[in-house]
Each structure stands twice: as structure tokens, then as C-alpha cells.
Chain A
Amino acid sequence: MANNAKKILIIEDEQFTIKLYTHRLEAEGYEVTATTQASEALRLAEEKKPDLFIVDLMLEDGNGFEVIKDLRSSAGFKKTPIITLSNLGQETDVNDALKNGADKYFVKSNTSFQEVIDSVKSFLA
């Protein structure tokens, strides 16, 4: 993989989702790191300095709303694109995630795999 590859950090509690997106995004030439833990998110972000985050809202040890808030409070990630992927589809969930700093919100069951990939590509173009 080229050294100048754009980096993506996936914070998602489902291993299968991680596997699927990692496979597809790596095929597009991105460097992908992933964690299922909210508590690991900020540390990995500081270490890898990703160009984009994919954040699930229900995580093994916490919730994605807080992860988004923490990322936005950190000086290095004020403007890094954050895509939220979640099965929580109530308007309050969407509003809370966007208010906390997410740039895009996808309800998993209403979104195709390709839509998410297209969104990543358009943010990183």
C-alpha cells in the first residue's frame, strides 16, 4: 500500500461490518484501522491521524455520540469528516449525532453498501 494512502478509522461494534468495510475500502486504496471500543477510539485517532472516521452509535463499551463529541473536542480532528453508521433511526438520534459534529448520518438498514463507499470517496476526493 502506498505511503500516501488516505487513512480511515472505523469505530464499530460489529466485527462482520468491520471486515466488510475494511475489505472494500482497502481495495479502493485506503488504509483502514478499526476498533469495537469507544474507549480506544481517541487513542487510536491520535496514533493513526485518520483522514476520515466511520462511527457506529452503539459500541461495546459506550456510545458513539460521546466518541463524536470527544473527537470534535480534540484539536487535531475539528474538521476531519465523520460518517455515522447506525441502526438508530429516530430523528432525535440523527439530530444528536449531527449536533455533536457528525457530517453525515446513515441508517444502516436504509442504506446500501455502495452509498456508504460513495460517501467516503466523496469526502476524501
Chain B
Amino acid sequence: MSLKLSDSTISKDVQTFMNAIGDGILIVDKSGVITKTNKAAWEMLGYKNAKQIEGKGALDLLKAVNNLGKLVTKKNAALFQSIKEGKKINNVIRQFLRADKKRFWSSITTTPIKNKAGTIKGAVIVIRDITEEKQAEEYRINFADIASHSLRTPLGNVLWANEYILSEKPGRLNKIQKEYLGESYKTLKSMNTMVNDLLSVSRLPDRRSKPALKKVRLEDSVDRVIESYDTYAKAQNLKIVFEKKKNKSHFIKADSKYLFIIIQNLIENAVRYAFDKTDVVIKIKKDGKHIVFSCTNKGMGIPKDKQKFIFAKFFRAENAMKKQGNGTGLGLYITYEMIRLNGGKIWFESTENKETTFFIQFNAY
């Protein structure tokens, strides 16, 4: 089948075929003017028939907004890249403007149309309405936030009350009271870890969605996590040492809402499984186009035969279970997934009962 873009030679059969497709299809010529459309495209864009949109400039009509809510410039428009550079652009998430000025979420694919000589004659735009999927994702994230607050509040209060009574500041406890309360405190701590991990898992975005990557100074995020773990580390006779040069900055591309959890999980693990009176050492260095974060502890390490399972969901090595009974085996899985979403890599080097270093490679900004 050959498509001529400048006239109305698309046969009735082809039009019927196009109208039967659920995704919106717009064919544009090389100057970006819409020449052909299907029924799904008119309906998605809020028009009654082809005449209302054919003959108009696609970029003027669609007015795309990106994942972060910013208007997409002509240069960055998928359509423009297909027409000017001959690139096929797959599944870019955009919001488009409907005729009634309301916006809808869509996944857009643009494919250049070339003649036999390879000259670009126009492009085909396929628009899939993903508003419902986006709403479901937002609902899931909102649910996680509400559940997070509702579950953590009572749990936190009971934990604090137990800790206070166990400290015997309000009054002396007898042996049995102390033993039973100590056991319930441990169980509650374990539940608390579980709730935190499950909420982090539920916050992981859909595998197809893209994180909001922006410029982040890695030193700032690390400092913030260290600040919140310093007391915890001191209580275990450990020191967190961040080896950084004064005024030196390493900027990375990352979604800050995940970055905090990533760094937090690695530092928490390093502190949790370290030997007493040792240092947890954190370093950041540049490696070509990448920035590498590392976190080293001296401790039990990861047994060689278990290393391949370390990022699997719910996996916990036996030595870790003996030292810390209250883990869920979700922390490193969450970390791995979040790093993957940020376009980074994670790996480790570990010698059992000696030293373990986790590395994360981020893209430099």
C-alpha cells in the first residue's frame, strides 16, 4: 500500500481499516500539517470529524506537555524529531490538549515516512490514551502515602511507649514484665521495618513510567541520610565516615524521591551488619561520564554461594538472619529497582567476615 500525503487518495478501505484501530492515528506531511486521521484520533482530541483537524498544524493543535508538566518545545517534540531527523520515537509520555481545553495523558509513537530515495515525506503519529493507567498509578501512590501515615502513626506510638516503659524511667519493672515487654518491643520493631519496606515497594512506579530525573548534588543527599543515621550508628559503637573533599560537588541525574531511599537502604544495611567499633566509610568519585558512590563496612559480609541472590525479592542470607531477625529481605530489592529506574547500576564486593562494599554508578549531570 502506498500513501500519498498531499492529496486525499487514501482509499475508503484504508480509511475503514484506520477507523477500526483503537489508537489515534494522525498522518502529517513534512511541514507538520495533518493530512489524514482516524476516528480514534478525532474522539481522543475531542473533535467530531476529520474536517475539524485535517489541514491544521499538528504541533499547534496538540500542544504537548511532558511528564513534569512543562510545555514541550518544538525542537523536543517527537513529531519534529521524526520529520527533521528521520527518527522513530517510541512511547513517549505526553499530555495533549483536547478541543475542550482539558488535557489527557497519552503514550505517543511517531514514525517518519520516507520515499524510495529515503527522503522524508512526513510522519505517522500514533496516540494511545493512557489517562486511566495514569490515574490508577496516582491512586496507588496516594494510597501508599495515606497507608504510610495511617499504619506508621499507631505503630510508632506503641513503639515509643514500649521503649519508654522499658527504660524504667516511669517506674521499675519486674523480671517477667521486662522480658515480655522486651519481646513485644522486638516484634513491633520487626513490624515497623516490614511496613516501611512494603510501603517502599508499593511506591515503586510502574516499570514503564519514567522517573523525574533532575540535577542533584549527591553530597547533599548523602549528608542528609548520614544525619538521620548518626545516632543509630553511635548506639552500635560505629562511626559513619564520609570521605569528601571540602567544597567538592558531584552532580548526578536522579529522581530525588528515590535517591534518598537508595542511599538510606545502603547505609542502614552497612550499619546493621557491621562489627562493633568499626567505621562505615562512604566515598564518591568521578569515573568518566559516571559518578560512583561506595559504602564499605567491616562485618559479616555476604557468603559467596548466596551472592547471586542478594537483590532478589524476600531473600535473606542465613548469617544476616542470625544477626538481625527483623529484616524483610526487601531492602536490597527495592534499592536495585530504584537504581534501575534512575538509569544507574549497583554491584558489590564482599569477603565473608571481613569487608563489604556496595557501589552505585549514577549518570553524571
Footprint of B on A, CB under 8 Å?
14, 16-17, 20, 23-24, 27, 58, 87-92, 94, 105-110, 112-115, 118
Q: Is B97 an interface residue (CB 8 A)?
A: no
Chain A residues in 8 Å Cβ range of B228: 105-107, 110
Majority DSSP secondary structure for residues of A touching B: helix
On whether the beta carbons of B257 and A91 are closer than 8 Å, the reply is yes
Q: Is B161 an interface residue (CB 8 A)?
A: yes
Contact of A109 among B164, B170, B196, B259 (CB under 8 A): B196
Q: Which residue of A lies closest to B216 (CB)?
A: A91
Chain B residues in 8 Å Cβ range of A92: 256-257
Besides A23-B164, A24-B169, A113-B163, 14 more A-B contacts (Cβ < 8 Å) are A14-B153, A14-B157, A16-B157, A20-B160, A87-B149, A91-B221, A91-B256, A94-B260, A105-B228, A108-B152, A108-B153, A109-B155, A110-B196, A114-B167
Q: Bound complex: CA of A110 vs CA of B265, how far in Å? A: 12
Q: Say whether, besides A91-B221, A91-B224, A118-B231, A20 and B164 are in contact (CB < 8 Å).
A: yes
Please tell me the size bucket of the interface on B: 20 to 34
On whether the beta carbons of A109 and B156 are closer than 8 Å, the reply is yes
| Those 4 A-B pairs whose CB atoms lie nearest each other, nearest first | A91-B260, A113-B160, A87-B152, A108-B156
On whether the beta carbons of B152 and A109 are closer than 8 Å, the reply is yes
On whether the beta carbons of B224 and A87 are closer than 8 Å, the reply is no
Q: Is B192 an interface residue (CB 8 A)?
A: yes
Chain B residues in 8 Å Cβ range of A20: 157, 160-161, 164
Majority DSSP secondary structure for residues of B touching A: helix
Q: Bound complex: CA of A103 vs CA of B342, how far in Å? A: 30
Q: Which residue of B lies closest to A106 (CB)?
A: B228
Q: Bound complex: CA of A114 vs CA of B160, how far in Å? A: 9
On whether the beta carbons of A58 and B224 are closer than 8 Å, the reply is no
Distance (Å) between the CB of A82 and the closest chain B CB?
16
On whether the beta carbons of B152 and A113 are closer than 8 Å, the reply is no
Chain A residues in 8 Å Cβ range of B231: 112, 115, 118
Q: Is B310 an interface residue (CB 8 A)?
A: no
Distance (Å) between the CB of A118 and the closest chain B CB?
7
Chain B residues in 8 Å Cβ range of A27: 169-170
Chain A residues in 8 Å Cβ range of B164: 20, 23-24, 113
Q: Is B195 an interface residue (CB 8 A)?
A: yes
Chain A residues in 8 Å Cβ range of B260: 90-91, 94
On whether the beta carbons of B257 and A87 are closer than 8 Å, the reply is no
Which of A27, A89, A115: most chain B CB closer than 10 A?
Answer: A89
Q: Is B190 an interface residue (CB 8 A)?
A: no
Q: Which residue of A lies closest to B221 (CB)?
A: A91
Q: Bound complex: CA of A92 vs CA of B261, how far in Å? A: 12
List, sorted by A's number, 10 A–B pairs whose CB atoms are closer than 8 Å.
A14-B153, A20-B157, A23-B170, A87-B148, A87-B149, A91-B221, A91-B257, A109-B196, A110-B228, A118-B231
Q: Bound complex: CA of A88 vs CA of B148, how far in Å? A: 8
Chain B residues in 8 Å Cβ range of A58: 149
Q: Bound complex: CA of A107 vs CA of B148, how far in Å? A: 12
Chain A residues in 8 Å Cβ range of B160: 17, 20, 112-113
Q: Which residue of A lies closest to B199 (CB)?
A: A89
Render B252-267 as a binary contact track against A, CB cut-off 8 A, 1 for contact. 0000110110000000
